[in-house]
Amino acid sequence: MKTLDLRVLVILFLLFSLALAQKSFGQKTKQIDPSDFVTQFGLKNEWTDKQGGGYKNRLVPRFEYAASADLAFRFELPVVANNVHTVGYDTDFGVGDLSTQIRWRIKKSQGFKLITGLGVTWDTGSEDILGGGKQVLKPFLFASVRLKQYKIMMFPYLQYDHSVKKDTGDSDTRLLMFSPIVFKMLPNKYYTMVFPTIFVNHSMNDKVGAKIEIEGGKFVRKSTMAYITPGFGVHSDVLPQIYNWRVIVGVRHFFK
C-alpha cells in the first residue's frame, strides 16, 4: 500500500533526524532563524497523490523581497499539471494562481519574534482546474520561539482563508489552519523541520483534517540550501486540503 509505505519512510526519516540531533550535542553549529527577513529566491517541485485518484504537480518559483528587517513581500506563480482520475478527463497543464504576501514583524525580543501579515491568492489560473477559481484573503499570525535548553525553534502558525470573489458554481472558502512547526539545526549544515497541520473547514460544516510534512535539507553553499519534504494525510477523507501523500524537492538562495 503506497500511503502506508510512505508513512513508514517518513517515520524512519524523522527518527534518523532525531538521532543526528542527539549526535550534535556538544558540537557547535550555527543556528539560523527562518523568520529573519532576507531577500531570497526559491524553486520547488511539488508532487501530490490526491485522495480519490489522480495527481497534481506544481513547479513553484518564489521571490521574497525584504524591504527592511521587519517588512517583506513574497510572490509565487506556479506552473501546474493536474490529473483528474475520471474517465474522459486528460491532464490539464498551464499557469496556476498567483499568490502574494506581505509579512510584518511586529515584535522582537530575546528568543521571541511575532510576525503577522496578509496573503492573497489571485484567480489567475489559465484554467479553473489549475487554480482555485476564486480570490482568497489569508491573514496570518505566527511566532518564532527559541528553546535554548532543547536547542530547537518553534513556529506556531495560525491562518484563516476567506474567499472574497469566486467563479459561478464554486463554493466559498472559509478555512482555519494551525501548524506548530518545529525547527532543528543539525551538524554539517544539515537541518530538519516538522510541519504538523490541522484544518477546520467552516464551509464544509466545520469538518476537521490533518496532515504532517517533514523537511530535511542542507546548506550546500553559504547562502544556498537544498531540501526534500515528504508528507501524508493523517485524518479526513473529505477535505480537499488533505492528500494521500506528497513529495517536495526544492532549493532556496538567500541574497545576503
For residue 210, give the DSSP letter: E
Neighbour count for residue 175 (Cβ, 10 Å): 22
Mean pLDDT across the chain: 86
Please indicate, yes or no, if residue 17 is contained in any of the structural domains.
yes
- Provide the pLDDT for residue 28: 45
Please indicate, yes or no, if residue 256 is contained in any of the structural domains.
no
Whether 213 has a pLDDT exceeding 50, the answer reads yes
Average pLDDT, integer, range 127-133: 85
**Region at 136 (left for phi over 0; alpha for psi -120 to 50; beta for the rest):** beta
Least confident of 47-61, 81-95, 206-220, 227-241: 81-95
Please indicate, yes or no, if residue 228 is contained in any of the structural domains.
yes
Please indicate, yes or no, if residue 146 is contained in any of the structural domains.
yes
pTM for this prediction: 0.84
- Provide the pLDDT for residue 140: 98
Please indicate, yes or no, if residue 255 is contained in any of the structural domains.
no
How do residues 47-75 score in pLDDT, each as one tens digit? 999 988 889 999 999 999 999 999 999 99
For residue 53, give the DSSP letter: S
For residue 106, give the DSSP letter: E
- Which three cell numbers mark 171? 463554493
- Which three cell numbers mark 113? 519574534
Please indicate, yes or no, if residue 239 is contained in any of the structural domains.
yes
- Provide the pLDDT for residue 236: 81
Dist. CA 25–CA 20, nearest whole Å = 9
Q: Of 46, 42, 41, nearest to 58 (Cα)?
A: 46
- Provide the pLDDT for residue 169: 62
Calculate the alpha carbon distances from 22 to 8, 15, 25, 111, 148 in Å. 21, 11, 6, 22, 14
Tell me how many domains the chain contains: 1
Dist. CA 109–CA 154, nearest whole Å = 15
Whether 11 has a pLDDT exceeding 90, the answer reads no
Calculate the alpha carbon distances from 216 to 3, 19, 110, 191, 202 in Å. 20, 13, 27, 6, 32
Percent of the chain with pLDDT over 70: 83
Q: Is 79 exposed, middle or buried (0-12, 13-18, 19+ CB in 10 A)?
A: middle
Residue with the larger pLDDT of the pair 156 and 12: 156
3-state helix, strand, coil in the chain (%, to 5): 10, 60, 30
Please indicate, yes or no, if residue 199 is contained in any of the structural domains.
yes
Written as one letter, the residue type at 53 is G
CATH number where 94 lies: 2.40.160.40
Pairing of strands 71-76, 79-84: unpaired
Which phi and psi (to 5°) does residue 20 adopt?
Answer: -65, -35
Q: Which residues contact 36 (CB under 8 A, 6 or more apart)?
A: 69
Dist. CA 9–CA 231, nearest whole Å = 10
How do residues 163-175 score in pLDDT, each as one tens digit? 997 665 667 899 9
End-to-end CA distance of the chain, in Å?
45
Which phi and psi (to 5°) does residue 253 adopt?
Answer: -125, 130
Whether 1 has a pLDDT exceeding 90, the answer reads no
246 Cα distance to chain centroid: 11
Please indicate, yes or no, if residue 43 is contained in any of the structural domains.
yes
Domain residue limits at 6? 2-250
